[in-house]
Amino acid sequence: MKVFLDYGEGKLAVDLGDARADLIEPKHQPGLADERSAVLAALDAPIGAPALREWPKPGGRIAIAFTDITRATPNDRLIPWLLEYLHRHGVGRGQVLLVNQLGTHRPNTREELRRILTREVVENYEVINHEPENPLALKQFGTTQSGAPALVNRRFAEADVRIVTGFIEPHLFAGFSGGVKGIVPGLGGLQTVMHNHGFRNLSDPSATYGITDGNPLWEELREIALRVGPTFLLNVALNNERKITGVFAGDIVQAHRVGCEFVRDSAMQAVEAPYDVVITTNSGYPLDQNLYQSVKGMSAAARIVKDGGTIILAAECREGLPTGSACEKLLRSAPSLAELLEQLARAPEPLPDQWQVQVQANIQRRAHVLLYSSMPHEVVRAAHLEPCHDIARAVAELVSGKNGSVRIAVLPQGPLTIPYLLRAASAQR
């Protein structure tokens, strides 16, 4: 049996020989016949909000938040269409500011911004990277119910019209991406993001794929977004070819809720029983640029692996952990993941990037994890993972002598499909 895994900017072919595996992929959703027309129509007939053409006032400032280079949003199509719509309704170029939803990621270079938005957009509009650690670039909207400072990008928050763009997919601890996540963490202050992504929130059983209501992490993000004021949402759903399958525009909460149910139907797949071996990816480039993001693919596999089973993650990680990041420093700060978990639980304040370490450590308490990547083996080991030289050979060794009793699953597109156990879902009802 041969499988093809999303890896970097291509496909990784893996020949599993005589081993049989269950392929777990999203239900195919065809791309819209006319994406541009669908987007423009959604702006005129949004969910729970007036048409976007009614939002701008003469001379008013408009801030558009867009996702950064680690996300698969088709910004190169969405943003030009959105700008076209605004201009048609009297908005001048000088009124528009485009803000990159970096969260706590590194700033994108000018060339990367051209790749994300198109060269024409970058050369004709003001485009800035969010600055999560610059107090002058942030505005505080009080303190959340759980004690987090509600810090949001100042220029976005003070605009007369705020528009958040992005795409919706299941998220490992926020329930779904998109929606209010475009404000925080997308445009949140570092302290805000660290508190929200802290040990307590991530330890809550409701902080997982597919759950927003009752998820303390998501509810705090919603609380902050609503304090900023009315914000227009333009989110899309995508298939594995990055074609738009659905457009959800309007009120940032209501439109997102409709989009989540659309995505849930195609992206979340039930399985009858756990697997001994789960082969997964992080959906290829741009999502598998580094290990920090690739834990999402690992997390998707962990939902259906047996206790004591094996996860094999194929993620290119061309940027490494990335090098010099808070994530790398934290992973290198203790000799074992068990000690890291204890360190995080005792910490008086959340630490930068601790969500990645906490999720990874909890997965590795249950399963053995191998990583096939472009990273040097010593870097993989420093991240407390085992390098995998050859996925086919690793699988052959795991099934050897087991007389076909080893259950194998493959997630070729990683977290674009979120599997779940039927019995676990029943237990939660």
Dihedral angle at the C-alpha atoms of 257, 262, 263, 265, nearest 10 degrees? 120
Residue given tokens 């992973």 in the structure block: 331
In the chain, what is the straight-line distance between the N-terminal and C-terminal CA atoms, in Å?
37
The dihedral region occupied by 59, where left means phi > 0, alpha psi between -120 and 50, and beta the remainder, is left
CA distance linking residue 135 with residue 168, whole number of Å: 30
Candidate list 89, 130, 171, 256, residue with the active-site label: 171
Candidate list 28, 87, 89, 105, residue with the active-site label: 105
Q: Which residues pair with 278 in a beta bridge?
A: 311, 409
| 3-class secondary-structure state, position 169 | coil
105 is catalytic: yes
Instruction: Tell me 68's DSSP state.
Output: -
How distant is the alpha carbon of residue 283 from its chain centre?
11
Pairing of strands 275-281, 305-314: parallel
171 is catalytic: yes
CA distance linking residue 291 with residue 288, whole number of Å: 7
Residues taking part in catalysis: 105, 171
